[in-house]
Amino acid sequence: MDSAGRYAPSPSGDLHVGNLRTALLAWMFARATGRRFRLRVEDLDRARSGSAQRQLADLAALGIAWDGDVVVQSDHAVQYAEALETLRERGLVYECFCTRREIAEAASAPHAAPGAYPGTCRNLDDAERAQRRASGRPPALRLRAGVDAFTVHDVLAGDWTGLVDDLVLVRNDGTVAYNFAVVLDDGEMGIDQVVRGDDLLASSPRQAYLATVLGLTPPTYVHVPLVLGPTGDRLAKRDGAVTLRELVAAGHSAADVLGLIADSLGLPGVRSAAGLLAAFDPAGLPRAPWTFSAPVTHPA
């Protein structure tokens, strides 16, 4: 299978400028390294009617072209179930009855690894599991991890070692957990390059370790700086006109929006995806977050 990069939005609403910037970077990194570029709709958790179609239209409006069909996560229930059963057969899955509050309290205890699941339900015996089932709380399913840390290589951050704990594979409502789904999907799609916001760097060791458990090769990671709003917080809809549709409604073209993103990447004067790719130099990528303020509305 050919190597590929990808962009994988959740269809929970329209993409804002920060999302679009990351999508362009993912597309450029893939194309600049001779990879295919794939799209995946990650709709297991939240999906708004029509959102995925609008997202794809916005990406196309900026000139981002992808290879093959768009992959939809919710179509993969059979693959997820098969992978889960394989892990069960290897003794790598156990039931967890902990509430979020119990996990938070245990994680705040002295000597607890920050952010790590403390393994409360890891070694329950049959009687203890039966007692917890009798309480009526459905269990989540966790991976019985064999390490507590894992090192990944990131093109921008270098080697990065982070926490690995007994991550959730299936939530207690029966929904496949993000970390499990994304690793399986990337493996199925031949994704060997993952470009995304640097707020997700900390989750990469968990995902890379899980990939090795599943017999997959972890991808090359590129975690790019986030886009911030005027207050210095992560860009959000509260910051005004931040989606392509809002900016177009305010009198700005798709080329104008792409030009703003190009400026933020140190490539002034570029107003097309093709031009952006032609001028793209990964070594020159700014390492600091970009603070975005919506441009002045053009008069009608």
Residue 108 in marked binding region: no
Do 76-190 and 4-69+225-291 fall under one CATH topology?
no
Number of Cβ within 10 Å of residue 215's Cβ equals: 9
- The response to whether 121 counts as a known ligand-binding position is yes
Q: Is 98 annotated in some ligand binding site?
A: yes
Residue 254 annotated as binding site: no
CATH code: domain 4-69+225-291 is 3.40.50.620
Average pLDDT on 254-263 reads 96
pTM of the model: 0.94
Provide the Cα torsion 241, 243, 244, 249; round to 10°: -40
Task: Give the tens place of pLDDT for each residue, 18-68.
Answer: 999 999 999 999 999 999 999 999 999 877 889 999 999 999 999 999 999
Consult the annotation and say whether 9 binds a ligand: yes
2, 192 contact by CB (below 8 A):
no
Q: Helices marked H in the chain — which ranges?
A: 17-32, 51-61, 77-89, 100-107, 126-134, 178-189, 204-213, 244-249, 254-264, 273-279
Across 110-114, 156-160, 235-239, least confident range: 110-114
pLDDT at 1: 63
The reply, when asked if residue 196 is annotated as ligand binding, is yes
Q: Is 7 annotated as a binding residue?
A: yes
Q: At what angle do helices 77-89 and 178-189 cross, to 10 degrees?
A: 110
Q: In the prediction, which pLDDT does 295 show?
A: 85
Q: Would you say 90 is a known binding-site residue?
A: no
Tens digits of per-residue pLDDT, 91-149? Answer: 999 999 998 888 887 766 665 666 789 999 999 999 999 999 998 889 999 999 999 99
Which residues, at least 6 apart from 283, have a Cβ–Cβ distance to it below 8 Å? none
Domain boundaries, the chain: 4-69+225-291, 76-190
Annotated binding residue at 42? Answer: yes
Q: What fold does the segment set 76-190 form as a domain?
A: Glutamyl-tRNA Synthetase; domain 3 (3.90.800)
Residue 218 has pLDDT above 60, yes or no: yes
CB contact at 8 A, 216 and 194: no
Is there a binding annotation on residue 94? no
Strands 93-96 and 140-143: antiparallel
For the cut 60, the answer to whether the pLDDT of residue 230 exceeds it is yes
Does 117 show up as a binding residue in the annotation?
yes
Number of residues assigned to the chain: 300
